[in-house]
Amino acid sequence: MAEYLHWDPGIRVGIEEIDLEHQTFVLLINQLDRQRNNPQMAPRLLQALAKYATFHFQSEENLMYANGYPLFEEHWKLHLELLEHLNNILLRFHGGKIDSTSCMLAACHSATKSRAG
């Protein structure tokens, strides 16, 4: 089975810790893609993705802050928006307003959007 999302070494940021965390996002998204039609696993994987995003964003923000990153506040706000979006997807999924496939696609869009920020 082909991967939904591929890790591209060309998008490395050059900080090993952050690059590994970004690679973990790719792994989680691909797991979610493989399980998108599994009503037991899709929500669990989506929840894992949301929790991992929270961890990763805090980790990234700590490094940015410690190193005086000039766009820290802008990046922090992007993280807040993405977390809100992921949490809204989870709420809509648990409320029966979207199915697992829609949920997976929305989550993947959010996670890949975070890499652009």
Read off the pTM. Answer: 0.79
Q: What is the mean pLDDT of the chain?
A: 83
Cα 38 to Cα 3, 19, 33, 60, 101: the distances in Å are 17, 29, 10, 32, 9
**Angle formed by the axes of helices 41-66 and 100-116, to 10°?**
10
Measure the CA–CA gap between 29 and 4, rounded to whole angstroms: 8
The yes-or-no verdict on residue 113 having pLDDT over 50 is yes
Tokens standing for residue 108: 């993947």
Q: What is the mean pLDDT of residues 35-50?
A: 85
The model's pLDDT over 59-82, given as tens digits with 9 standing for 90+, comes to 999 999 999 999 999 999 999 988
Looking at this protein, which amino acid is placed at residue 57? F
Domain ranges of the chain: 41-117
Q: Is the dihedral of CA 46, 50, 52, 57 positive or negative?
A: positive
Q: Give the residue carrying structure tokens 């980790």.
A: 59
Cβ-contact 52, 28 below 8 angstroms:
yes
What are the helix (H) ranges across the chain? 16-34, 41-66, 72-94, 100-116
